[in-house]
Structure 1
Amino acid sequence: MIDSPAIGARIDGAVVRNPALSQTGILERIFSSAFRGLVYPQIWEDPLVDMQALALKPSDTLVTIASGSCNVMSYLTANPARLIAVDLSPAHVALGKLKLAAAAHLPGHTAFSNMFRYANLKSNVALYDRHIRPNLDPATRAYWDGRDIMGRRRIAGFSRGFYTTGLLGRFISVAHIVAKVYGVDPRELLRMDSIEQQRAFFDTRIAPIFDSRSFRALTSLRASLFGLGIPPAQYEALAGDSPDGMCGALKARTERLACSFPLKDNYFAWQAFGRGYQPGDGASLPPYLESRHFETVRRNASRVEIINENLTAMLAVRPAGSVDAFVLLDAQDWMTDQQLSELWAEITRTATSGARVIYRTAATQSPLPGRVPDGILNQWDYRAEESLAYGARDRSAIYGGFHLHIKRGRD
C-alpha cells in the first residue's frame, strides 16, 4: 500500500510519454510523483448517469477504476453480484478500503454519514480507532495510521475537512482564494434560489474572472491544472476542445456546473463552490451516503475487491467472457495508441455478450476511432445518441464527452 518502486513504475507507465529532460517529460514526471498520493477525495463522475447507462443486473460483474471510490460504493445500490475496482494510486486504494470497512463495521448510518458526508468532526477519529481500524488489512491500516507532511495521522483529515485534502481538494481551495482576489466569493452562488439566479451570478461575477488577462496567463501553464488530476496529455485534449483554448474550456465547464442544474439537485456544485456537501435534510448526496441506501451498501460491501494495479494487467488474468460492465472514467485521455489497443483487446476478450463500457473524455469526441484496430472496435456498437443524452445529464459537468459502447451478440 505504501509507495514503492513498482507502484511508481506503474504510474510512470500510465503518464510518462516524453524524454526526461524535455519540458513535457519533466511535467509528466512531476505529475506522476504527485499522483502517488491522494488526488481525488471525491470522484467527479455522476453515478446516477453511470448506473442508468450500465443497466446493472443482480448477476453482473462490474470492473471500474476506483478513484475516490464514491461511485464504487454507489454502484452497490444497484446490487451487482461482484465489483472489481483498480487504481494506480495506493492512496485511492486505501480510501476505498476504508469506505468498505466503514460501511461494514460502523454502528449505523449516522456514524457513516459523520465520517464521509461531513468528514470534519473530531469524533470521526474515535470512530476509526474503535470500529474501522481493527477491521483493516495491515497495509491499509498502515496508510491511515501513517503521517502526512505535517506529522499528523492521515486519518485525522476526517476531523478537519477531508474534502479539502488531496490534490483536487487543495486545487478547489486555491481556486476560492483566486476568486476572492478578484472580489468574488464562490460560496455566494449557493444562495441562489433558481437556475436564472445562478446564471445571473455566473455571468456577472464569475465569467469576468475567466476573461481576465492574468487568469488566461495562469491557465496557459500546463502544471496549473495538475490539481484537477489533469496530466499534460489530457491538458492538450481539453485545451483543444474550445476555440478559446484552455481558458475557454474551463469557462464553459464551470458555466455548465454553475448554471445547468438546480443547486438542490447537484452535490458536485456544492463541492466546487461550497467545498463540502449541502447541509440539512433532503440535500443532494452521492447515492451511497443517502440513508435509504445504507443497509444495501452495508450488505453488499463484501462484494467489492479493490486492487492496486493497472486495469489492462488486471483484465489480462481474468477468464474470457467474465465481465458484464466496465467503467473507465477518463483514463483513456492519458493513453498512447498502443495502451488503448492493449486495453480494448482485453476488454473485448473478457466482455460478455451485451457487456457495456462507459467512459468520459476531456474533449467531445471518443479517442478510439483510428487509434484502436477496427477488428476490435467492430465487435462493439457505439451508441452515439445515447452517449450525448447521458452526457447532458451528467451533473459534474466537467467533461466534454460521455461514451457508451455495447458488445455485439445480444439483443
Structure 2
Amino acid sequence: MSAIQNTVRTQLGAAVQRNKALSIDGILERMFAKTFTGLVYPQIWEDPEQDMKALNIQHTDHVVTIASGGCNIMSYLTAQPASITAVDLSPAHIALNRLKYTAALHLPDYDAFYQFFGKANVKGNAALFDHYIAPYLDQQSLDYWNGRKGLRARRIDMFEDGFYRYGALGKFIGIAHFMSRLLGVDYKEFLACKTQAEQEAFFDAKMRPALNAKLIKFITSNRASLFGLGIPPQQYEALAGAADGDIHAVLIERTRKLMCDFPLHENYFAWQAFNRSYKQDGTGPLPLYLQKEHYETVRNNVHKAEIHNRNLTDLLEEMPAETKNCYILLDAQDWMTDQQLNAMWKQIDRTTQSGARVIYRTAGTDDILQGRVDTQILGNWHYDQQRSQALNLEDRSAIYGGFHIYTRK
C-alpha cells in the first residue's frame, strides 16, 4: 500500500471511526470509510446558491471549504472572492476538483467545457482531456484519470459514458431507479410535468405508494443502505432523529421536498436524481459554473482556488490568525465527536476575521453546536436562526434537515 493510501485511510479512520473494529457500529464505520476512498459525489449535493446568499461573498473575502465534488467551489468563483482554499479526504474528489480547475483554464471554449461537465456523456471527451487538460494536470491527478476502470477503459472515459452515473452517489441513484421500475414508477412522467401542481400529483399518486412499499421500508431500515448518499452510521441516527427515530418518515418528506417544493425548470438536483444527468438538450437548470453567462468569470478566477487532501482542522492550524472570512463545512460536523468539534472551532475562531461567516448543514433539524462547543469559543459567534431556517427551505437539494449560519461578532 502506498504512503498516500496509508495517509488517506488514517485520515478517514480518524473522521468516522468511533467504535471497536469488531462491533457492529465499528464494522459499519469501516465500511463507510472504505466507500470514501473512491469517488462518492460526481456532483455535490448542497445548493451553492443558498451558500452564496448566506455568505455574501465579497471580492476581498478568503473562503475555506470542504470540497466534495467541487460544484460548490466552481460556483463560488462567480462571486470573484480573493481566494478559495478547499480540503477533502477522498483522493478521487481531489482529482475531480483539479480536473475542473484545469479544464476551466485550458479547454478551448464554453462549448467544450459544457460538453465535458454539462453533458458528460459525449464521445470525444477523453480526447479533449488528452489534448487540452492532461498536459497541465498535476501528476497525481493525471495518474488517477488515466487509471483503469474495468478491464480496458480509463477513468476519464466516464465522461464519455455518463459521468454522473458513477461514484457511490451515482450508483445509489441507479439502484433507486431500478427499484422504482420494479414498483411501477416511471420518472419520465415526472420529468414531463409542467407545473408544481403536476409534480405534487405525481408524488402523491406514484411516489408515495412506492416509498411505502414493505421492500423499501426494509431496505432503508439498514444503516448501511444510505452509504451511497454519503451518510455514515452516526449521521443516519441524526437523520432518523428528525422524526423521532422514524427514518422512513424522514426519507418520504425529503423526497417530497425534492420533487414538489421547486419547479422542475429551476432545480437541477431533481434532474440529477430522476434523470441521472442534467437535461440533455441544454435547456434545463444548471449549476452556476456551467451557465454560459458565468463561463468567463469562472475561467478568469479559477487560479484563486486550491485544494488539499487534508483534514480541515490540521490545515487551519497552519494558517495565520485572522486571515479568513467564509467557512463552508457541508455536513461534516454530523460525523464529529465533541473533541473534534472543539478542535476545529478553536482553529476557525483563531483564523477568522471580524464579521466572518460560517455555514453548515445537518441531517437533523437542530443546530448541533450548542452544549457541545466550548462557550468561550461559541460566545464569539452569533447564530442567525431565522435566516438559517429561511435558507434551509430554499435549498433545492432537499436532503438536509438544517442549514445553519454563524457570524463572528
Task: Calculate the TM-score normalised by the size of structure 2.
Answer: 0.98
**One-letter amino acid of the structure 2 residue matched with residue 356 of structure 1:** R
1:115 maps to which residue? 116
Over aligned residue pairs, what C-alpha RMSD do you find? 1.1
Give the match for residue 228 of structure 1.
229
Q: Bigger shift: 182-191 or 215-224? A: 182-191
- Aligned residue runs from structure 1 range 336-355, under 5 A: 336-355=337-356
Match of 2:146 in 1: 145
Q: Following TM superposition, by how much is the alpha carbon of 1:282 offset from its aligned partner in structure 2, in angstroms? A: 4.2
Report what 2:168 is aligned to. 167
AA paired with 1:384?
A: Q
One-letter code aligned to 1:287: L
Deviates more, 1:240-249 or 1:202-211: 240-249
**Which residue in the other structure is 2:291 paired with?**
290
CA contact (8 A) 1:3 1:36 kept: no
Aligned partner letter, 1:335: M
Answering whether residue 31 of structure 2 is matched by residue 13 of structure 1, we say no
CA distance in 1, matches of 2:202, 2:152: 41
| TM-superposed deviation, 1:240 | 1.3
Contact 1:8 1:36 in 2 (8 A): yes
Q: Matched residues in 2 for 1:279 and 1:389: separation? A: 32
Q: Which secondary structure state, in structure 1, belongs to the residue aligned with residue 149 of structure 2?
A: coil
Distance 1:281 1:90 in 2: 30
- Conserved in 2, the CA contact under 8 Å of 1:270 and 1:278? yes
Superposed, 1:11-410 pairs within 5 Å as: 11-243=12-244, 245-408=246-409
| Aligned 8 A contact 1:328 1:359 in 2 | yes
Q: Aligned AA for 2:146? A: D
More displaced 10-residue stretch of structure 1: 147-156 or 81-90: 147-156
Which amino acid is 1:355 matched to?
A
Task: Confirm or deny: 8 A CA contact 2:237 2:245 kept in the other structure.
Answer: no
CA distance in 1: counterparts of 2:189 and 2:86, whole angstroms: 37
SS in 1 for 2:353: strand
Alpha-carbon distance change, 334 to 187 in structure 1, aligned in 2, over 3 angstroms? farther
Q: Which amino acid aligns with 1:388?
A: Q
* Structure 1 counterpart of 2:266, one-letter code: D
Q: Is the partner of 2:37 in helix, strand or coil?
A: coil
SS at match of 1:324: strand
- Rounded to whole Å, the distance in 2 between the matches of 1:152 and 1:331 is 33
1:3 CA drift (Å): 5.1
The Cα shift of 1:150 comes to: 4.1
Query: What secondary structure is seen at the aligned counterpart in 2 of 1:83?
Result: strand
In structure 2, distance between residues paired with 1:3 and 1:185: 44
The TM-score normalised by the length of structure 1 is 0.98
Give, in angstroms, the shift of residue 188 of structure 1: 2.0
Q: Which amino acid aligns with 2:340?
A: Q
Q: CA separation in 1, counterparts of 2:34 and 2:267?
A: 32
Relative distance call for 1:73 and 1:5 in structure 2 (3 A) is same
The structure-2 alpha-carbon separation of the partners of 1:117 and 1:60, relative to structure 1 and needing over 3 Å to count, comes to same
Corresponding pairs, count: 408
CA distance in 2, matches of 1:150, 1:381: 54
Structure 2 gaps, min length 5: none
Letter in 2 for 1:334: W
Q: CA deviation at 1:151?
A: 4.3
Do 1:66 and 1:86's aligned partners in 2 also have CA atoms closer than 8 Å?
A: yes
What fraction of aligned residue pairs are identical, expressed as a percent? 52
